[in-house]
């Protein structure tokens, strides 16, 4: 059976795992790509929907009946218009969008930047009217569960099937195609051992890390086609081996693994991404739960607890563990151009280099007093 036909879809998983499915529907994994519509799109399409390039050029984010477009205007006349076909990003930091042209995918030139609540020039674009930044299979491998690539020797860029795709990082991205799993358990309802499926929590440390590193391991150079890697595989059977970079060269966006791997916590334990994260849930507003994770190793019994534990309240500790030791930093990879500015503005993201940031801690604690 061809690989793409072995997918069953997350709704099939909901039959037996409804609670997990319902939580996952709210997660950033699920929201990382979706069809563009009135429910999924962020941004102002009414009063503040224009980005002015110069005295005669602008790009507008527009709603026309039930569809949405980005349109370039010159001297007030529409010159080029492309639809919002898919959104990329949950909207917490921002949300960019892509459109179909034949069997190619391109990024739209305006991105909604949530940190300042405005339309900005998308990462990778400059201050001019362009609609031609192509989307590669490697981009989609991290922002979706599956796209069937149809690129051939005459293709000008990566081409894709417009029908054989699964948006969002869904159940089968981390557990593997589930068709065989469902067929088996429909026939054997009493068998509670997961058949033909991968459980990252029960895999080896390396299997778990390789799965997360596929999308959170930086700019990996593939040696086999995108979407070939499956959960439980060895990452470097599909990508060229890379070398560890100094922490100063690792960006907070996209290479969380590299930052974590440079941390003493990682080096001195058997921790994985799952030690702190539940990939099924939206954990962005649950700072206190990470304190509980940290406390499993850093506590008074192990004599490895926070040095400030005797000087601040427990409430301050519980809400600022990761803020002090994993602060948000400016990304050099995700940068947008704001209206009226020429120097790009960075999105801020959580550092995964666990360390002592003295100046950050001082600032946080001074505010808490």
Is 310 inside a domain boundary? yes
CA-based end-to-end distance of the chain: 62
Q: Tell me what pLDDT residue 127 has.
A: 86
Tell me if 41 is assigned to some domain: no
Domain assignment of residue 355, given as a range = 274-369
φ, ψ of residue 120 in degrees (nearest 5): -135, 170
Residue 303 covered by a domain: yes
Q: Could you tell me if residue 358 is inside a domain?
A: yes
CA nearest to 165, candidates 114, 95, 100: 100
* Rounded-to-10 torsion of CA 67, 69, 74, 79: -80
Per-residue confidence (pLDDT) for residue 63, from 0 to 100: 96
What the block records as the tokens of 105 is 């995918």
Helix %, strand %, coil % of the chain (to 5) = 30, 25, 50
Count of the separate structural domains present in the chain:
1
Calpha distance 29→131 (Å, rounded): 27
Q: 101 and 156 in contact (C-beta within 8 Å)?
A: no
In a domain, 199, yes or no: no
User: Considering the domain boundaries, does residue 328 fall inside one?
Assistant: yes
* One pLDDT digit (tens) per residue for the chain, 369 residues: 345 559 999 999 999 999 999 999 999 999 999 999 999 999 999 989 999 999 999 999 999 999 999 999 999 999 999 999 999 998 999 999 999 999 999 999 999 999 999 999 999 998 888 899 999 999 999 999 999 999 999 999 999 999 999 999 999 999 999 999 999 999 999 998 999 999 999 999 999 999 999 999 999 999 999 999 999 999 999 999 988 889 999 999 999 999 999 999 999 999 999 999 998 998 877 777 888 888 888 877 877 778 777 777 778 877 888 999 999 999 999 999 999 999 999 999 999 999 999 999 888 878 765
DSSP string, 281-313: S--TT-HHHHHHHHHTTSSTTTT---TTTTTS-
CB 339 within 8 A of CB 120: yes
In this predicted structure, what is the pLDDT of residue 278?
A: 92
Position 314 in a domain:
yes
Sheet of 67-74, strand order = 50-52, 57-64, 67-74, 77-83
- 77 bridge partner residues: 74
> At what angle are helices 314-325 and 287-295 packed, to 10 degrees?
90
- Alpha carbon distance 364, 284 (integer Å): 18
Instruction: Name the residue among 95, 122, 123, 79 with its Cα closest to residue 36.
Output: 95
Q: Phi/psi of residue 312, each to 5°?
A: -130, 165
Residue at 347 is within a domain: yes
């Amino acid at each position: 059976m061809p690989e793409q036909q072995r997918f069953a879809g997350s709704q099939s998983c909901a039959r037996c795992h409804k609670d997990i499915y319902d939580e996952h529907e709210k997660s950033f994994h699920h929201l990382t790509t979706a069809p563009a519509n009135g429910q999924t799109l962020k941004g102002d399409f009414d009063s503040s929907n224009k980005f002015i390039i110069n005295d005669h050029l602008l790009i507008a984010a527009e709603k026309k009946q039930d569809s949405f477009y980005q349109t370039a205007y010159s001297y007030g006349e529409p010159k080029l218009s492309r639809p919002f076909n898919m959104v990329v990003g949950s909207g917490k930091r921002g949300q960019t969008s892509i459109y179909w042209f034949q069997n190619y995918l391109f990024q739209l030139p305006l991105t909604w930047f949530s940190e300042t609540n405005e339309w900005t020039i998308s990462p990778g674009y400059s201050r001019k009217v362009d609609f031609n930044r192509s989307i590669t299979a490697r981009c989609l491998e991290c922002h979706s569960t599956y796209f069937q690539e149809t690129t051939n020797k005459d293709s000008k860029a990566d081409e894709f099937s417009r029908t054989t795709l699964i948006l969002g990082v869904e159940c089968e991205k981390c557990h593997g195609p589930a068709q065989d799993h469902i067929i088996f358990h429909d026939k054997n309802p009493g068998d509670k051992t997961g058949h033909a499926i991968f459980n990252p929590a029960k895999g080896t440390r390396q299997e778990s890390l390789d799965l997360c590193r596929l999308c959170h391991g930086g700019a990996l150079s593939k040696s086999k086609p995108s979407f070939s890697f499956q959960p439980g595989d060895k990452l470097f059977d599909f990508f060229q081996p890379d070398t560890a970079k100094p922490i100063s060269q690792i960006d907070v966006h996209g290479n969380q693994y590299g930052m974590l791997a440079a941390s003493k916590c990682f080096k001195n334990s058997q921790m994985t991404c799952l030690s702190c994260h539940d990939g099924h849930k939206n954990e962005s507003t649950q700072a206190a739960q990470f304190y509980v994770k940290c406390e499993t190793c850093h506590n008074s019994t192990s004599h490895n607890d926070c040095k400030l534990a005797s000087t601040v309240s427990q409430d301050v500790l519980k809400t600022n563990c990761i803020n002090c030791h994993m602060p948000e930093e400016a990304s050099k990879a995700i940068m947008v151009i704001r209206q009226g500015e020429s120097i790009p503005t960075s999105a801020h993201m959580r550092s995964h280099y666990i360390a002592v940031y003295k100046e950050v801690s001082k600032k946080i604690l001074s505010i808490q007093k």
